[in-house]
Amino acid sequence: MAAKSFAGKKALLVNVRERRQEDTEESVNELEFLCFTLRLKVVGKFLAKLNYIHPSTYLGEGKLLEIKDAAGKTGSSFVVFGNDLLPVQQRNIEEILEVPVIDRTQLILHIFGEHAKSKEGKIQIELAKLDYLLPRLTGHGVELSRIGGGFATKGPGEMKLEVYRRRIKERIYRLRKEIKDIEKHRKLIRESKRREGFPAAALVGYTNVGKSRILNKLSSSSLHVANRLFSTLDPATRAVYLGENKFCLVSDTVGLLHDIPHHLIEAFQSTLEEARYADLILVVYDISAKDIERQRNTIAGVFRILGIEDKKRLDIYNKTDRLSSEEKNIICSSVAGGVFISALTGEGIDELKENLRKNLYGDAIKKS
């Protein structure tokens, strides 16, 4: 299904209670924002207590019947789960609910597909979609059109199913080769920029924390900015003037999300590798968020996957404009180090540039 066909369609959201009430609230809000980004109309939310995961249906049949009743009453076109489902679980749930089911990864993939603009971004999205689709191929044909991309069909037999599997595997192989070629090209570009003597920094952080807006403020550029998740998928690098004839290169990267599946991180390795080769990582947090610790844990997990835990970093706390003076003072006193800014108003941008110069050139900008 094309992403645009989701616009205005009714969706019932299903989340599982987590140990902490704060985590549950964050997960519910996050799923709703993902649906908002895809322009789905949320008409109901269902919160389930999960004692254990049912291998075939994830939730117990009683809970699923409650969800079916809620979906019917709200006229929902889709039921969206805030967690990932195994292929067999997704099929069985759909049979019980009699409504199409979208799991978390599928929802993210549709958003990715809508926002990717460059050739590299589109290749990465297609690869991630095919990796997701492959284990979901069945003889019923439903899963073949689950993500889209020209594989829809009506009830293929076993032989035709094997043909589709082979074609998808061949396509995955070609896409991975293309990504390797792109990585080689990007490496040449990085090396040529380094020969020019410009140090490099990379913006890394949760999705929608304002990385693109920060890069715009630093470089006076006009990258697309939107109050939607994953609005930036394609990497962008800009030159930033730090004063006294000193420049650096700053790259934006794809936004992160709590518990983002590892295979999606792997699909975007070539985008996130800007952080691996940077001289300094600019870790951006939304200071107005209820649970910054959730952002910290997510970023730390991705850093472990990328093997960059020991990289030199500078913490940036954005969106100070959303805090009162009292709230700001309390948070600033409780956080060690870092730069507090508002990319919207420009507050703290000069201090950020000074910190960039100090970290990249080893000296602070002289005061005039």
Kindly state the DSSP code that residue 288 receives in the 8-state scheme. T
Tell me how far apart the alpha carbons of residues 256 and 132 are, in angstroms, rounded to a whole number: 19
The pLDDT, as a whole number, for residue 18 is 86
The pLDDT, as a whole number, for residue 136 is 82
Closest listed residue to residue 90, CA positions, set 114, 126, 54, 36: 54
Q: Are residues 145 and 250 in the same domain?
A: no
- pLDDT of residue 244 exceeding 70, the answer is yes
Q: What is the mean pLDDT of residues 72-93?
A: 94
To the nearest whole percent, how much of the chain has pLDDT over 90? Answer: 35
What's the alpha-carbon Rg for the chain, to the nearest Å?
Answer: 22
Instruction: Provide the Cα torsion 25, 27, 33, 39; round to 10°.
Output: -120
Of 25-34, 147-156, 265-274, the one with minimum mean pLDDT is 147-156
Please, are residues 50 and 83 in contact by the beta-carbon 8 Å criterion?
A: no
**Structure confidence at residue 266 as a pLDDT band (50, 70, 90):** low
Number of domains in the chain: 3
Q: What is the mean pLDDT of the chain?
A: 82
Q: Tell me the C-alpha to C-alpha distance, in Å, between residue 153 and each of 125, 129, 189, 246.
A: 22, 17, 42, 58
- pLDDT of residue 153 exceeding 70, the answer is no
The pLDDT, as a whole number, for residue 368 is 38
- CATH label of the domain that carries residue 273: 3.40.50.300
Q: Are residues 212 and 257 in the same domain?
A: yes
- pLDDT of residue 241 exceeding 70, the answer is yes
Of 131-145, 160-174, 187-201, the one with minimum mean pLDDT is 131-145
Tell me how far apart the alpha carbons of residues 203 and 219 are, in angstroms, rounded to a whole number: 13
Q: Does residue 107 form part of some domain?
A: no
- pLDDT of residue 270 exceeding 70, the answer is no
76 compared with 164, residue with greater pLDDT: 76
- pLDDT of residue 166 exceeding 50, the answer is yes
- Which residue range(s) make up the domain with 67? 3-102
- pLDDT of residue 64 exceeding 90, the answer is yes
Please, are residues 245 and 154 in contact by the beta-carbon 8 Å criterion?
A: no
Q: Are residues 118 and 267 in the same domain?
A: no
Digit-coded pLDDT (tens) for 247-261: 898 988 877 887 777
Digit-coded pLDDT (tens) for 175-230: 988 888 877 777 776 666 665 678 999 999 988 889 989 999 998 765 555 544 44
Digit-coded pLDDT (tens) for 84-127: 999 999 999 999 999 999 999 899 888 877 777 777 778 888 88
Domain stops at, among 41, 73, 102: 102
Q: What is the mean pLDDT of residues 317-335?
A: 86
Q: Are residues 157 and 211 in the same domain?
A: no
Domain stops at, among 177, 208, 230: 177
**Structure confidence at residue 19 as a pLDDT band (50, 70, 90):** confident
Domain stops at, among 102, 127, 156: 102
Q: What is the mean pLDDT of residues 39-57?
A: 92
Q: Are residues 161 and 234 in the same domain?
A: no
101 φ/ψ angles, rounded to the nearest 5 degrees: -110, 135
Tell me how far apart the alpha carbons of residues 258 and 23 are, in angstroms, rounded to a whole number: 10
Q: Does residue 185 form part of some domain?
A: no
Strand partners, 250: 201, 238
Q: Does residue 368 form part of some domain?
A: no
3-state secondary structure of 261: coil
Q: Please report where in the chains the tokens 């807006």 appear, as a residue.
A: 213
Tell me how far apart the alpha carbons of residues 92 and 254 are, in angstroms, rounded to a whole number: 33
The pLDDT, as a whole number, for residue 194 is 62
**In the Cβ-directed half-sphere of 293, how many Cα atoms lie within 13 Å?**
4
Q: What is the mean pLDDT of residues 277-283?
A: 92
Please, are residues 74 and 14 in contact by the beta-carbon 8 Å criterion?
A: no
Q: Are residues 90 and 126 in the same domain?
A: no
Q: Please report where in the chains the tokens 């999606």 appear, as a residue.
A: 264
The pLDDT, as a whole number, for residue 152 is 42
Q: Are residues 95 and 133 in the same domain?
A: no
Q: Where are the alpha helices (DSSP H) in the chain?
A: 21-37, 61-74, 87-97, 104-115, 119-133, 158-195, 211-219, 262-267, 269-277, 292-306, 325-334, 349-361
58 compared with 230, residue with greater pLDDT: 58
- pLDDT of residue 155 exceeding 60, the answer is no
194 compared with 61, residue with greater pLDDT: 61
The pLDDT, as a whole number, for residue 176 is 87
Q: Does residue 22 form part of some domain?
A: yes
Q: Please report where in the chains the tokens 């549950």 appear, as a residue.
A: 24
Q: Are residues 122 and 15 in the same domain?
A: no
Calculate ∠ Cα 64-257-125, nearest 5°.
Answer: 90
- CB burial string 111-120: b at 16+ within 10 A, e below: bbbbbbeeeb
Q: Are residues 225 and 93 in the same domain?
A: no
Please, are residues 147 and 109 in contact by the beta-carbon 8 Å criterion?
A: yes
- pLDDT of residue 1 exceeding 50, the answer is no
